[in-house]
Chains A and B, each alone.
Chain A
Amino acid sequence: QSVLTQPPSVSAAPGQKVTISCSGSSSNIGNNYVSWYQQLPGTAPKLLIYDNNKRPSGIPDRFSGSKSGTSATLGITGLQTGDEADYYCGTWDSSVTAGVFGGGTKLTVL
């Protein structure tokens, strides 16, 4: 059972928009920075969003992040088949002084 809660799967058609939620508590999301990672099949995770809502250079603006209270959301617009991957949220948990990840969400582009 992960400290951060994500839906196991989401799906949408090409060109559509999808959101992935990440729910936590005041000891993690509520008081720390949230990052999002994309893991394509058979590859290492890649940073998509840092500092709750910022994109590293090279990440298209189709990807966005937001945080409100103890929840965070990853949004992806203009879905492409190449976006099919597992997506993870991550942050620090101040109460246990440890890093925490969500259980991951598998995105299917139908």
Chain B
Amino acid sequence: EVQLVESGGGLVQPGGSLRLSCAASGFTFSNYAMNWVRQAPGKGLEWVSAISGSGGSTYYADSVKGRFTVSRDSSKNTLYLQMSSLRAEDTAVYYCAKDGVGIYSKDGFDPWGQGTLVTVSS
């Protein structure tokens, strides 16, 4: 069974940093692109970042570019999102989601993890 489990969320002060992890199992991790998507409380989905299976290509939403860094470790089957210079508007549930072989391929995002809550507040 394909499974994604996020961790690392929590309360952080404005300007602080946090690293999210997404542990993957049930598929050949290095063969698939991965994405981070967030959802602010009571709001819709917002795509955050994507990374290719090799890790050689990365993409970011304008709202996080220069502050967030996506990476992956195929030896650990784990996806990461390093977040810095955090702002109140970064408060959201962060989901990781498995993509297809290519970034934003025809296959859609399936499955999604259960999400981890990041709260940026003093």
Residues of A within 8 A of B (CB): 2, 32-33, 35, 37, 39, 44-47, 49-52, 56, 86, 88, 90-92, 96-104
Residues of B within 8 A of A (CB): 35, 37, 44-47, 50, 59-62, 95, 97, 103-115
Per the bound structure, the CA–CA distance linking A32 and B106 in Å amounts to 8
Residue of A nearest to B46 (CB): A101
Whether the pair A104, B107 counts as a contact (CB closer than 8 A) is no
Q: Pick the contact of A33 from B46, B106, B113 — CB < 8 Å?
A: B106
Whether the pair A33, B47 counts as a contact (CB closer than 8 A) is no
Chain B residues whose CB sits within 8 angstroms of the CB of A52 once the complex forms: 106
Whether the pair B44, A98 counts as a contact (CB closer than 8 A) is no
With contact pairs A44-B95, A97-B59 given, residues A90 and B45 touching in the complex (Cβ less than 8 Å): yes
Chain B residues whose CB sits within 8 angstroms of the CB of A49 once the complex forms: 108
Whether the pair B110, A47 counts as a contact (CB closer than 8 A) is yes
Residue of B nearest to A36 (CB): B108
Chain A residues whose CB sits within 8 angstroms of the CB of B103 once the complex forms: 92
Q: Pick the contact of A44 from B35, B47, B104, B112 — CB < 8 Å?
A: B112
Residue of B nearest to A49 (CB): B108
Residue of A nearest to B44 (CB): A104
Q: Pick the contact of B45 from A32, A88, A91, A97 — CB < 8 Å?
A: A88
Chain A residues whose CB sits within 8 angstroms of the CB of B106 once the complex forms: 33, 50-52
Residue of B nearest to A105 (CB): B44
